[in-house]
Amino acid sequence: MSATPEGDRIAKVMARAGLCSRREAEAWIADGRVKVNGQKITSPALNVTDRDDIRVDGKPLPDKEKIRLWRYNKPRGLLTTAKDPQGRPTVFESLPKELPRVVSVGRLDLNSEGLLLLTNDGELARRLELPATGWVRRYRVRVNGTVEVSHLNELRKGITVEGIRYGSVQASLDRQQGDNAWLTMSLTEGKNREIRKLCGHFGWAVSRLIRISYGPFQLGNLETGQVEEVKGKVLKDQLGIETPKNKPHEREQPKPTERPKILGRLTLKPKPKHKPKPARKPDADRRRKS
């Protein structure tokens, strides 16, 4: 029986370094852009360790940073891709310049909007995309058409559309106004254009599709186009990710507290250190009383 190879797969290591996703790493390797210990590789079937010299386009891998995650309210009209051959605007071109290189957790198509998670760790992105996580993706959907209870029951049971089997989708009718209706739809698989295809199966034309949550992360009051980092405590609670603490010399030193002299209209006077003792009465006074 052969021993388990030491280290991790090269594509996984590249993804963990925040350079790209694992899928992108495999493509870069196939294109001959990656060298290990001076030798060009063309297959991702290679395990590497910290002792190996890995270079992409002649540059060493960046030092591994702490894992970070952001919530982004994606506007309509942006592609969730690093580069579009047709030159259409992309999510990554619209992000603030101060953000590090990030990858998306899943995708939202050109005309979809709402919550898109971004991370600097490609391996985390891949893990959060897997249906095995059991995370529910929830959407608000506006359709043109009449929604019947029977349609919603079919979605809950799971249906087959154009030869593709879709699992159970929890759907509820929020409002029917004339020919238009608002639905809330929840699913765990997230197949390509799943909601649009399911709605099309019933003859509903989707006019708006907004993702409002992805697992425990909510769109909330995030404005369109706004990016907000998820706090380290939330990453630990929801994903079990420990964020490294600052080194002792990097920690903020507590500022000395100064006692305020004035609170509103009340002036505080410093208290005396020792309470003065009452003056002793003369002996004559004491004898007179006795």
Could you list the active site residues?
109
Question: Distance between CA atoms of 144 and 101, rounded to whole angstroms?
Answer: 39
Residue 40 burial (CB count, 10 A) = 11
In this structure, what token pair is assigned to residue 85? 């051959």
Q: Concatenate the DSSP letters of all residues of 195-245 into one string.
A: HHHHHHHTTPEEEEEEEEEETTEE-TTPPTT-EEEPPHHHHHHHH-PPPPP
Of 196, 10, 40, the closest CA to residue 108 belongs to: 196
Distance of CA 197 to the CA centre of its chain: 26
Query: Which H or E run includes 152?
Result: helix 149-157
DSSP 250: G
Which residue, chain included where needed, has tokens 């238009």? 180
Query: What residues contact residue 110 under an 8 Å CB cut-off, 6+ apart?
Result: 76, 77, 78, 79, 88
Return the amino acid letter for 108.
L
CB distance 212 to 115 below 8 Å: yes
* Residue 40 zone, left/alpha/beta (φ > 0; ψ -120 to 50; rest): beta
DSSP 139: E
List 35's β-bridge partners, or say none: 40, 55
Helix (H, G, I), strand (E, B) or coil at 105: strand
